[in-house]
Structure formats: C-alpha cells, structure tokens
Structure 1
Amino acid sequence: MNKDRSVLTAAQWVRLSPLLPGQESSPGTTAKDTRLFVEAVLWRARCGVSWRDLPAERFGPWHTVYARFRRWRKAGVWPKVLAQVQNATGLHRLMVDSTAVRAHQVAGSAEKKTAPSGRRSVAAAVGSPPNST
C-alpha cells in the first residue's frame, strides 16, 4: 500500500490500465473511476471481506462495485488481465505456504462415521483377520 493509502502504485496503474475496458479508445461508454474500482476489488480480495463490507466512503456503494465486477467477470476481463499480468511479471506459478493456511476450528473434530450394524467389512467378508500385526 502507498503513502496515500491507494492499493496500486502509479507505475502499476500505468501498466494495468491499457488492459482494462472502458478506456477512451475502447468502443462503448468510457468508464468513470476505473482505478478506484480496481482498487476496491483488490482491497476486498486482500482483506477477505464480503461485498457489503466495502467502505462506502472510500469506494462508493458496494452494490455498484459488485455489479461492475460481475459485468467484467461475465465479459471475461479478469482472466485476460491475469494472463497479461502473469506474462509481464513472470508469475507463472503460485505457491501457498501450508504454515500460513489454517483449517477451520472444527475441521479436525468431526465424529467418525461407522458402518451400520449388520454390515461386514471387506476384510471380514474375505475371511482375513482385521488389522493383525
């Protein structure tokens, strides 16, 4: 994040903006505040909040941002932008460090399912002793 609390630096925006729809050279309507919209999407992704939790005083009404995001998703803008950014920066793979990935608190405490009574295991059906060591 920059000193002015924007998500993108000026250099990043210069590289990213030609890839986005709504430019003056694009057919159709010229978009208003495209940089602010992209920063809202990036802010939401970075913070992991729902659309309704976007700060309206900074990014405007959440539903406006969401509707534009959805239009761009349907038009296939995001995969194209991602592909261009990956090619430009050499980011062809993304690795996730498992020490930073946490499971939900109840993920490991689920009750084990047992076979209903009257059903035999495959080992018992074949006649081998279960787990003999």
Structure 2
Amino acid sequence: MRDGFFWFSEAQFARISPHLPRDTRGVARVDDRRVISGIVHVLQSGGRWRDAPRDLYGPHKTLYNRFVRWAAKGVWAETFHALAVEDGPPVVLLIDSSAVRAHRCAAGGKGACAPKPSAAVAAGAPPRSMR
C-alpha cells in the first residue's frame, strides 16, 4: 500500500508477471505493475475507473482497456487459477452461507409455497380487513 492506495510488492508482482501476456506489438506497453495495481485499486474501492489517481496508476482509460482486453483473452482467469494451484490444496476450506442455495419458500419471497390462512378465519371470527 502506498498512502492508502493499493500497490503490488516486488514479491507479489514476481508471482504474477510470468502469467501476463508478452505478445504486444507496436508501441511499448506501459508498466504492468503500475496498471495492475491501479486495476486492483479500482476493483477494491468499488469506485469508477475515472477516480483512480492518475499520478499513481496512469490514465484511467489505460486501466479500463487493459482490464477489458485481458478479461476477453482469459488472462485474469488463467492467472487466478495458476496462483491458486501453485501453493497446492488449501489447508482450510470455508463455506459462506450465501453460496448455499435455499428453496424460494425458505425466504418467504414472491412465489413462496401455499399462502397460510389467517388465524382469525381458522377460528371462525370475522376477518379484520375490509374488501
């Protein structure tokens, strides 16, 4: 981190750099470490590409274009997969409850199971609401 902004350390970037594409043509590509740090900063903060500090990460258009192009080429998925496999199987696995699907009846949302009759109707009392 640089004064509250994300920045890859030398060791972190050394693990990522072998997985980055090297098949560029034309104008030399700007510093990958700077651009990828900017992409991670934008994704972590949830802000707009335009809000990334230009003096630290470079032009926002470069950050956006590199993110989109590499996503289309599958660079991000391959990199994440390679980094995950690199250290072997995890020692501890965690399951988040949001990953477990529940039946739509469980949440009581639209399309729930059969509607439950009012206790007043079941007891023979007149209903409380008017039509």
TM-score above 0.5? yes
CA contact (8 A) 1:37 1:59 kept: yes
Could you state the TM-score of these two structures normalised by the residue count of structure 1?
0.60
Query: Within 5 A, what are the aligned runs for 1:9-48?
Result: 9-22=9-22, 27-29=23-25, 31-48=29-46
- CA distance in structure 2 between the partners assigned to 1:6 and 1:79 by the alignment: 21
- CA distance in structure 1 between the partners assigned to 2:76 and 2:50 by the alignment: 21
CA contact (8 A) 2:35 2:62 kept: no
Match of 1:54 among 48, 52, 55: 52
1:61–1:97 Cα change, 3 Å: farther
CA contact (8 A) 2:38 2:63 kept: yes
Of structures 1 and 2, the one with the larger relative CO (CA 8 A, separation 6+) is 2
Query: Within 5 A, what are the aligned runs for 1:59-70?
Result: 59-70=57-68
CA contact (8 A) 2:6 2:38 kept: no
Shift of residue 55 of structure 1? 1.0
- CA distance in structure 2 between the partners assigned to 1:52 and 1:91 by the alignment: 38
CA contact (8 A) 1:8 1:39 kept: yes
State the Cα deviation string for residues 41-86 of structure 1 (Å, max 9, x = none): 1111221111111111211211121111111111111100111111
Q: Which runs of 5+ in 2 are unaligned?
A: 99-108, 123-131
Letter in 1 for 2:19: L
User: Hey, which of these two has a bigger chunk of helix by percent?
Assistant: 2
